[in-house]
């Protein structure tokens, strides 16, 4: 009888976790496609270059944005490099659209400020800018906290069910 309770608690935990993952993904506003896509880096200075990546599209992929000329990634290739317009405004976020057949997916490209040119022998007075502004791999702290709370709650319920004594006083 105890094994049934433990198994039930474990299954409940797995079900809760699997049902919360799609909701967290949808909350981020990402497009769901049968193919993968991305822009690297996701933040670039005006006139900089980015790599457009596509995975799992078995057709020609067209990539377009208001910050660079449309580019076509031929069938069988997985990436292309484009140059961002030199007159792109820093602080602006542009949408990049990947079109594979009848499906399309979108992601953002952020234009960052231009850093001053460094001269040989010149040492910067401040450290380099690093990180993604309070996010970890695309998740913000509220999503991580919500996920941790769901996991903790599920484990607590599973522990409670596993420790419950039978009502009739019999031991299994």
**CATH code: domain of residue 65:** 2.60.40.10
Contact status, residue 110 vs residue 39, Cβ threshold 8 Å: no
Q: Note whether 15 and 35 are same-domain residues.
A: no
> 171 vs 1, 7, 19, 136, 140, CA distance in Å?
9, 17, 34, 47, 47
User: Quick one: how far is CA 120 from the chain centroid?
Assistant: 38
The structural domain count of the chain equals 2
Q: Note whether 35 and 111 are same-domain residues.
A: yes
Nearby residues of 164 by Cβ (< 8 Å), 6 or more positions away: 5
Burial code (b: 16+ CB inside 10 Å, e: under 16) for 101-138 equals: eeeebebebebbeeeeeeeeeeeeeeeeeeeeeeeeee
Contact status, residue 156 vs residue 150, Cβ threshold 8 Å: no
Question: Does residue 128 lie within any of the structural domains?
Answer: no
- Domain boundaries, position 3: 1-28+138-167
Q: How many residues does the chain have?
A: 172
Given this model, what pLDDT does residue 13 score? Answer: 57
Question: Does residue 132 lie within any of the structural domains?
Answer: no
**The pTM is what?**
0.50
Q: Could you list the pLDDT tens digit for every one of the 172 residues in the chain?
A: 566 665 565 555 555 555 544 444 443 445 688 999 999 999 999 999 999 999 999 999 999 999 999 999 999 899 999 999 999 999 999 999 999 999 999 999 999 986 544 444 444 444 444 444 444 445 556 677 778 888 988 888 888 888 877 666 555 5
Given this model, what pLDDT does residue 138 score? Answer: 52
Residue given tokens 């602080």 in the structure block? 91
């Amino acid at each position: 009888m105890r094994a049934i309770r433990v198994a039930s608690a474990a299954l409940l935990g797995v079900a809760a976790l699997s049902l919360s993952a799609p909701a967290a993904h949808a909350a981020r506003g990402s497009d769901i496609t049968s193919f993968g896509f991305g822009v690297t880096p996701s933040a670039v200075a005006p006139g900089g270059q980015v790599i457009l990546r596509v995975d799992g599209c078995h057709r020609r992929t067209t990539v377009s944005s208001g910050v660079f000329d449309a580019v076509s990634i031929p069938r069988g290739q997985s990436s292309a490099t484009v140059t961002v317009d030199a007159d792109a405004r820093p602080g602006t976020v542009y949408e990049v659209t990947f079109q594979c057949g009848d499906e399309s997916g979108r992601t953002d490209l952020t234009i960052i400020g231009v850093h001053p040119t460094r001269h040989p022998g010149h040492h910067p007075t401040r450290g380099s800018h690093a990180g993604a502004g309070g996010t970890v791999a695309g998740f913000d702290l509220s999503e991580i906290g919500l996920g941790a709370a769901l996991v903790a709650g599920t484990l607590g319920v599973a522990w409670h069910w596993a420790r419950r004594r039978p009502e009739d006083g019999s031991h299994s």
